[in-house]
Amino acid sequence: MDMWKCLKEGRQLPIPDEDTLVFWEGCRRRRLLIQQCDDCHAFRFPPSPLCPQCSSSMATWRQDSGRGEVLTFCVYHSELAGPAWRSKLPYVVTVVELLQSRVKMLGNLMVTDPDLVRIGLEVRLEFETIDNRITLPQFRPLSDCEGSRGLQSRSKR
Amino acid sequence: MPVAIVGIGESRTGRLTGVSALRLTLEASRAAMQDAGVSASAIDGVLTRNLDMDVTYMHSQHIAKHLGIRPRFATDINLGGATAIAMLEQAALLISTGVCNIVLCAYGENRRTSWAFERHGKIRMGCEDFEECYGLTWGMGPHALAARRHMFEFGTTSRQLGMIAVAQRQHAIHHPNAAFREPLSLDEYERSPYLIAPLRKYDLAYIFDGGAAMVVAPMAWGRDHSAAPVSILGLGQAHSGEHIAYCANMVTTTTTPARQAGQQVFGAARMSRQDIDIALLYDDTTYGVLVQLEDFGFCRKGEGGPFVEAGHLGPDGDLPLNPHGGHLSQAHLDGMLHIVEAVRQLRGQAGRRQIRNASTALVSGFGGVFAASAAAILGAPGLPA
């Protein structure tokens, strides 16, 4: 289903709206804010007006430390996402489970050698400032010898 | 009330610069109406899928108007890649409840070429603000994430995925309207570059322009008016509960809603996996096929790789897969051509790629990234409904 999205010249950036503004404003201030339901206490991401677990509209934004673990990843070797990504090839897109709030987030994994990335790798949050409106949450391996310390154990299922 | 597919239509497919989605939709619709032997005045239901690249107000009525149809019921259905089967189910519901008698399901897109032109507007996917900024492309990117997780859990290999691409190409070689008809070897697959590792060039389907349509009617009408009505023996549809456009949760589980849709469709048709002669499984990527082989119950969870390796899927296998070449080798039209091909095979009209004695077909669709699964079991003309 590529070939019909993301083909504009520049990088496609988020467009904050009524439901996501707090999240993006938090990122701009270098805080990762995740919604927690006031009634059933479930965390949810991406931001949503109602809790998918209990339909409550009452929620509180909690700051997350941004520590997490790689659940899976892929490596782009082609500029399917458009010309803006040409200079970044190869780049890694990962799904990270945050250890604190247990939500799953997408991000780029900032590594020099994608071959060393493993499922189970521990990561930390790093903010990438794009412009004065948008700052993106990104991830970087926790250990300095990036990628070489991926947890070998399978995650609990 | 037993319901049948009584007409199918397929437009040109490929890189069709300058051909509008409207034209492709109308060409396919006209072909389906001619195939069914019905005029516009006989059709009282119109189902369409709105255009991803140019969302159109009351699209189904727009299409009806251009075909000269004055429907009793018209609406747009968008369930992503599950749309084709969802249309079929909606048509069956309209007919069996007596709301409509003959329903046209029509589809046309020119996504391959139209992105280069100015359009009025494109569809909002839902959660792209949390995906596209990371260079994740819709569809294939999340499939690569899911395939990596499956490899981690079960030891599935790239070579096994390649065997799916090769099997489908073996079929497509004999399809005159397929984009890729040159033979593909496993060696060639393994030499091809990773586009989104762990997926290679031949693991990915590419969007093409094209249209497809079908006409649905009561089986009794089909027997009286049509030479070869194909019966709808069962339908199923299930949703993961994830937002259709947000992939993170779905790609880290290796089970998809095809499991529930499969239970529904096999239950409704009162059939088992062994009763299926051909499988037309939705194929954004080879991995999407592998996970459906598991979730529809052709093998156990985690055993998709060895199942593929055992050689079931090619023209000589016992479960020939996507005899039209599928999205991977014919053209990606959101699963519409899977239904068109199933009907051709069950009628015995598939020419050199005809699978012998094909009397039952499982056809599936996936909407979003494993977010919605839809499935139908179709039966050859003459098979008791």
Interface test with A, best of B113, B124, B137, B161 (most A CBs within 10 A): B137
Mean pLDDT value of segment B254-278: 97
Per the CB < 8 Å rule, is B252 touching A95? Answer: yes
pLDDT for B127: 81
- Residues B34-70: tens digit of each pLDDT: 999 999 999 999 999 999 878 899 999 999 999 999 9
How many cross-chain Cβ pairs, A to B, lie less than 8 Å apart?
142
CA nearest A120 in B: which residue? B152
HSE-up (13 A, CA, CB side) for residue A20: 15
- What is the distance between the alpha carbons of residues A88 and A77, in angstroms, rounded to a whole number? 9
A50 touches chain B (CB under 8 A): no
CA nearest B194 in A: which residue? A77
ipTM of the complex: 0.87
Does the pLDDT at position A4 exceed 70?
no
- Residues A46-102: tens digit of each pLDDT: 999 999 899 999 999 999 999 999 999 999 999 888 889 999 999 999 999 999 999
User: B3-114+208-225 falls under which CATH superfamily?
Assistant: Thiolase/Chalcone synthase (3.40.47.10)
| Count of C-beta atoms within a 10 Å radius of residue B53 | 19
CATH number among 3.40.47.10, 3.40.190.10, 1.10.760.10, 3.20.20.140, domain B136-205+233-379: 3.40.47.10
Does the pLDDT at position A156 exceed 60?
no
Chain B residues whose beta carbon lies within 8 Å of the beta carbon of residue A83: none
- What is the distance between the alpha carbons of residues B276 and B179, in angstroms, rounded to a whole number? 27
pLDDT for B31: 97
Q: Which residues contact B33 (CB under 8 A, 6 or more apart)?
A: B7, B9, B39, B40, B43, B67, B104, B213, B215
- What is the distance between the alpha carbons of residues B149 and B251, in angstroms, rounded to a whole number? 8
**Residue A108, phi then psi, degrees to nearest 5:** -90, 145
Does the pLDDT at position B260 exceed 50?
yes
pLDDT for A150: 42
**Closest approach of A109 to chain B, Cα-based (Å):** 10
- What is the distance between the alpha carbons of residues B319 and B83, in angstroms, rounded to a whole number? 24
A78 touches chain B (CB under 8 A): yes
Q: B95 and B101 in contact (C-beta within 8 Å)?
A: yes
Per the CB < 8 Å rule, is B130 touching A105? Answer: yes
- Of chain A residues 8-37, which have a CB less than 8 A from chain B? 11-16, 20
Taking Cα atoms as reference points, which of A7, A51, A13 lies closest to residue A133? A13
Per the CB < 8 Å rule, is B112 touching A3? Answer: yes
Q: Domain boundaries in chain A?
A: 21-64, 68-141
- What is the distance between the alpha carbons of residues A14 and B128, in angstroms, rounded to a whole number? 8
Q: Which carries the bigger pLDDT value, residue A143 or residue A6?
A: A143
pLDDT for A51: 93
Tokens standing for residue B245: 């456009």
- Residues B126-149: tens digit of each pLDDT: 888 898 899 998 778 999 999 999
CA nearest A87 in B: which residue? B135
- Residues B161-184: tens digit of each pLDDT: 999 999 999 999 999 999 999 999
Taking Cα atoms as reference points, which of A120, A125, A107 lies closest to residue A66? A125
- What is the distance between the alpha carbons of residues A119 and A151, in angstroms, rounded to a whole number? 7
Q: Domain boundaries in chain B?
A: 3-114+208-225, 136-205+233-379
Q: B161 and B286 in contact (C-beta within 8 Å)?
A: yes
**Closest approach of A142 to chain B, Cα-based (Å):** 20
pLDDT for B259: 97
A81 touches chain B (CB under 8 A): yes
Closest partner CB to A20 (pick from B129, B137, B149) = B129
